[in-house]
A and B are shown apart, each in its own frame.
Chain A
């Protein structure tokens, strides 16, 4: 049974969580990535885009675009995965190297840019777990 019942739930819960990151300390890391990051989801289908809002230091650090609205801007990095894999990733339960090797996660673009984010996600995972436990946006 998929964690996200439908696209609406995916956008509300995961999209909503991304919205909280736009004003969080870690959100500033988008500027080190250096361009838009697109997430393509399957089962349910969905598409979320992080679009950086310069200059660095300003909050929100990026805008979250949903669905067709996320298709307008060419991404620097694209991550394609099942929505369930994404859910487990943000819980901190996915070994990135293994997920890439098994094609559970496809990454297109300069992966080294994403490495700027990874070491900082340890503090984000528990917040996602709490967000999910709290049922998403209030």
Chain B
């Protein structure tokens, strides 16, 4: 079938194109997208900081309706509302079996090649039928995409698909970093570097487990205002104040129990580590370019028993955690609607990137004409 998609033709060059989409093979599902969130990772591929093969269909935070299923698919049927998971784990490797499906090598390898796990990509273009790669086994900036069966999580009928789209990356990642990776306990102090789509969800995750204080750090006044809306108790303008001094002031000179880096820059990764208390943990969620390196004080590791760790996809199991997040939203505990500040058409992805970068939106959403 023919589908419209936003294609990254080369780094920095997006164009709306009509592509040929192969139907779902065995164990695969075709999903007609309703909405797809615009994430920093999409921008990193666009800019070349996260180098992946081109041409590529970006987008990995999406929700829609199952359009067709391939042979052997048992968990969803055409018409089911679903959210995409960009980490369809194999369920059989040692990481999957030890409860760390986010580390499964099967999707990691496929994502590096821009394909599905079998090595094929469902999109083609032009008379040559040149393959068009797929970002992170999803490719949500297309009217319809094809993903592995484990790359969809079924939603209850009637679920708001704009809200559900966000569960596929930013909400799952931000809350998971607090609840699972850092395992923040009530009364612990947290600092969050970066108040974009991920950072805001770190803050509301920290509020839900009664962490205090909850310090948001950013260079944008607009984003810090949003941070307060999403649970920050204190804010620091990184371009105006000494971030470390402010954090020490707010924590009786100790530093925070848990610091979260949601930007992906070596300097802020070091700053997050430096802001933690003895015995504290710093969690890197932001995605830096694959060749970036960080400088840290070596003595602080043994003498202060500090932990520096990372968080990939909220250390989550999407089939378990996405329905739980949706229930929290339905119960009024998790604010998802206010994350959606602006909607864009498929041809307006670059404008959505600009809005994300200048901090004028919490989460930009690509919506598809019916």
Question: What residues of chain A have their CB less than 8 Å away from a CB belonging to chain B?
Answer: 97, 100-101, 103, 106-108, 110-115, 118-119
Contact = CB atoms under 8 A, between A and B. Distances in A.
Contact of B48 (A101, A103, A112): A112
Instruction: Name the 7 nearest CB pairs between A and B, nearest first.
Output: A112-B48, A107-B291, A115-B51, A112-B51, A100-B290, A111-B291, A111-B51
Contact of A111 (B53, B112, B290): B290
Nearest to B133: A119
Interface in B264-312: 289-291, 293
A79 B48 CA distance: 18
A114 B51 contact: yes
A31 B185 CA distance: 54
Task: Describe B's contact surface by its main secondary structure.
Answer: loop
Contacts of A113: 48
Contacts of B53: 115, 118-119
24 contacts: A97-B112, A97-B290, A100-B290, A100-B291, A101-B290, A106-B291, A107-B290, A107-B291, A108-B291, A110-B48, A111-B48, A111-B289, A111-B290, A111-B291, A112-B47, A112-B48, A112-B49, A113-B48, A114-B51, A115-B51, A115-B52, A115-B53, A118-B53, A119-B53
B353 interface: no
Interface string B42-71: 000001110111000000000000000000
B179 interface: no
Contacts of B289: 111
Given A106-B291, A110-B48, A115-B48, 20 more contacts: A97-B112, A97-B290, A100-B291, A103-B293, A106-B293, A107-B290, A107-B291, A111-B48, A111-B51, A111-B291, A112-B47, A112-B48, A112-B51, A113-B48, A114-B51, A115-B51, A115-B52, A115-B53, A118-B53, A119-B53
Contacts of A97: 112, 290
B12 to A, nearest CB: 9
A112 B52 CA distance: 8
- Interface hub of B51, B53, B112, B289 (most chain A Cβ within 10 A): B51
